[in-house]
Structure 1
Amino acid sequence: MSYHHLIRNELIFIEEYNNNGFSAPAIFLQYQRNKKKCGRKPISLDSETEARVKERIGLGWTPDTIASPKPTANTKPFPCSMKTLYRMFSEGIFDKKQLPMKGKRKPNGHQEKRGKEAFKRRLEDRAVAFPGFDAEFGHLEGDTIVGKDHKSALITLVERTSKAIIVLKVVSRKAVSIEEALHQWLSGFPSHFFKSITFDNGKEFSRWKQTANQHDMDIFFADAGKPCQRPLNENSNGILRRNGLPKKMDFNTISQQEVNEITAARNNLPRKSLDYLTPIACFLQHADVSRLI
C-alpha cells in the first residue's frame, strides 16, 4: 500500500484548520468546491453568433477568418479564438465536413510520367531571373481544370501576392485554344504588368513560347509530380471545385459571366494571410480589377 509523507507546510495547514474547528472531511469538501471554480470556464456562443458562423462557413470562410482579431466597422470582435472555434467543429457543435478539404497524397512508389521535355524553363531559371519573386507583384501560377468526361476545361490563374483568382473559359483543352484564351486575357493589361507565369506540365501549355513572345513575359514550369511548387494555384483549384465548378459539371454549359461570379465570391473573402483583407482589395493596389468581378 502506497502512502504519502506529509511535508512541513501541510502539517501547519492541518494544525491551523483544526484550531479553527474544521474536520478533515469538511476540509476535503471545501477543497472540492474550490477546485470546481478553477480553470477556464467553457465558452459557448449565443444563437446570433452561431448563425453567423454557419452562414460564413456556408460561404466558404475558414474558422481563422471568422475569428479574425480585426473586426470591421460592421462587425464586433468575435467572442472566442480560432483554436476554440476549431475545437467546436471537432466536438460536433458545427459541421466539420464544411471545413476546407485536406490535401491528397500520391501512393508510395508513384512515379510522375509527365513533363520530361528538356526545353521547358524550370524553377531554377525563375530564381535567377527574379530574385525578389516571393515579394513582388505580378507573378502568376496557372493550370487547367477539366469538366465532365474530360470534354470541357477552364484555365485557372492566381496572382501570388494578392491571391486573386482568375478563371478563363476555353473552347477546348488543346494547346491552341489555351494560347488564344491567354492571349485575349493578357491583352487587356499594360505591357509587363504581369512578369511571369508558372504552369504545371500539362501538354495544353506546349505553346508557351508563343504566349511568352506575344506578351514579353517569362513562363516557367514546376517540376513533374510536385504540385507543391504551385501551392496557391492548387489550393484555389480545390476551392473552386467545392464552390461552383465540380468535376461532374460540363463547363460548356456555363458562360464566362457565370464563371466570373463564382470567382468573385472567392476573391471577396477576407484572408488571414492578407492581414484579413480580400484578394480584390490587395489587387486594387496595383490595378483596376473590374474585369475580374
Structure 2
Amino acid sequence: MIEAYFKNEEPVLEVAKQLKRSRQTIYTVYHFLKQGTTVYEYYRQYKENKTHCGRRSIVLPPDQREYVQNRVAQGWTLDVIVGRAAFPISCSARTLYRQFKKNQFDVKQLPMKGKRKPKGHKERRGKQTFKRTLLERASDYPNFQQEFGHLEGDTIVDVHHKSAIITLVERLSKVIITLKPEGRRATAIEKAMTEWLQKMPKNLFKFITFECGKEFSMWKSVSNTSDIALYFADPWTPSQRALNEHSNGLLRKDGLPKTMDFNQVDQAFVSAVASKRNHIPRKSLNYKTPLEVFMKYMDDDTLSSII
C-alpha cells in the first residue's frame, strides 16, 4: 500500500494518517523506493536486519554442559539442577529446557511429563469391599498432612503379571521404599509387609494408604500383627495417592520397566533402584534429596535398616 501511495506521489503525512503508522516508517520506505528498488527487495532487507536483533543465544561452557548432561542422565530435572545450585549454571532452568527442545545436548530424554492415561479414562478392574476408607483416616489423623510417618502404598507388576514389587512412599520426605515379595498374591504381600514392619521401630510409621486392590485383602493381619493403621483409597481414584503413583512412574523409568521379569531380580536390586531416586533432589523439598529430609526424623541406625 505504501508503494501505491508512493507512485501516486501522496504526501508522507497523509499516508501516515491513512495507514495509522508513524511518519518515520513511511519516510523509510519512501527513501528506499526512491533508489529504484522494489517493495519485495525492501521486505527482504527488512527480514535480514531482523535476524541481527534481539539477545544472542546463550552457549554454556563445556564444564557446565557436561555437568548438566551427567545430572540429567542420573534422573535430575533441569529446574532441580539450577535450583539446588551445587554447580554454577550461567542460565535459567527455562533456558535449559529450550536448549534441550532444540537438541543442543547429547542427552535427549528428560524425566517423564504429562498424563499417563488419556482424559476420560475409566478403571474397569474389580474392587474389594473389606477396606477402611479415607473418611476414617481423616477422622483418626486430622493433621496427617503435616506429620511424619504416613505412607502411601501400591504394587507394580512385571511383564508376565506373575510377580510384583511393593512400593511405599513417606508423604513428608517422599522417600521411596521397595519390597520384593515371593509372588503377587495376597498371602505373599501380607508376608513381605509383616516381615518389613517387624524390623521397624514401633510407631515409626503411623498408617499406610493402599490402592484398592485385592492383593491387599489380608490387611487386617498386617495391621494387627504390626500395630499399624491401614486405609484404602476409593476405587478408580489414583489422585488420592498421587505421590505414590508418581513414584511408581519414576521407578519404572529408573530400572523396573513393565517389560522386566521381576522373578529375575532380588531385594538388593529393587532397593538399589529406590536408593537412586532417593538421592535425587526434589524441587518440592526445597532442592533437598528425600534422604536429606528423612534424616531429620531418623537416627543413623534406624535409617540403615530402612533404606
Q: Where on the TM-score scale, by shorter chain, does this alignment land: which range?
A: 0.7 to 0.9
1:119-141 CA-to-partner distances (Å, cap 9, x unmatched) read 41111221121111211111100
Match of 1:216 in 2: 227
TM-superposed CA distance for 1:148, in Å, is: 2.6
Select 2:165's aligned residue among 138, 143, 154.
Answer: 154
Question: Following the alignment from structure 1 to structure 2, what is the Cα–Cα distance between the partners of residues 208 and 159?
Answer: 19
Match of 2:7 in 1: none
Over 3 Å counting, the alpha-carbon distance change for 1:242 and 1:111 in structure 2 is closer
Match of 2:8 in 1: none
Select 1:165's aligned residue among 163, 176, 187.
Answer: 176
Q: Secondary structure at the match of 1:156?
A: strand
Match of 1:19 in 2: none
TM-superposed CA distance for 1:32, in Å, is: 10
Match of 2:150 in 1: 139
Matched residue type, 1:41:
R
Percent identical pairs in the alignment equals 44
Match of 2:114 in 1: 102
Match of 1:43 in 2: 58
Select 1:63's aligned residue among 73, 78, 100.
Answer: 78
TM-superposed CA distance for 1:33, in Å, is: 11
Match of 1:86 in 2: 97
Question: Following the alignment from structure 2 to structure 1, what is the Cα–Cα distance between the partners of residues 257 and 117?
Answer: 20
TM-superposed CA distance for 1:109, in Å, is: 6.4
Rg (Cα) greater in structure: 2
TM superposition score normalised by structure 1: 0.84
Find out whether 1:53 has 2:68 as its counterpart.
yes
Unaligned runs of 5+ in 2: 3-14, 33-41
Find out whether 1:228 has 2:239 as its counterpart.
yes
Select 2:287's aligned residue among 240, 257, 276.
Answer: 276
**Structure with more helix by fraction:** 2
Match of 2:35 in 1: none
Match of 2:17 in 1: 5
The answer to whether the 8 Å contact 1:114/1:201 transfers is no
Aligned length: 280
Question: Following the alignment from structure 1 to structure 2, what is the Cα–Cα distance between the partners of residues 171 and 240?
Answer: 19
The answer to whether the 8 Å contact 2:122/2:236 transfers is no
TM-superposed CA distance for 1:204, in Å, is: 0.6
TM superposition score normalised by structure 2: 0.80
TM-superposed CA distance for 1:262, in Å, is: 1.5
